[in-house]
Amino acid sequence: SVSSHVMQTLSERGWVEVIGHKDVPGRPGLYATTHKFLDDLGLKSLKDLPPLADLGTLVLPEAMNTATGAEAAAADIQESSEHVETEAQ
């Protein structure tokens, strides 16, 4: 599960948006990345992001010890990113 604070921050930056709700009790939001996310990070596509498996080698080891859930947010965002990819085509 991703921290609600992380998702709120991403939403406030305009990097993610709710694209629907899961049909389960509580109806949690389903998020997708936005074009602003790509623009702000200088990406043409989410395919330009490094694989999640490589993330650990790109981050300093001491930073890994102070993670705030951003890695989990990135995983969820990447999974729901098909929304932006489809719109771009």
Contacts of 33 (CB under 8 A, 6+ apart): 15, 16, 46, 77, 78, 80, 81, 83, 84
Domains of the chain, each with CATH number or no CATH: 4-88 (1.10.10)
pLDDT at 74 (0 to 100): 58
pLDDT at 78 (0 to 100): 55
Tokens linked to 39? 């623009």
Q: How many CA atoms lie within 13 A of 89 on its CB side?
A: 4
pLDDT at 5 (0 to 100): 92
pLDDT tens, per residue, the chain with 89 residues = 688 899 999 999 999 999 999 999 999 999 999 999 999 999 999 999 888 887 777 665 555 555 455 555 555 555 555 555 555 55
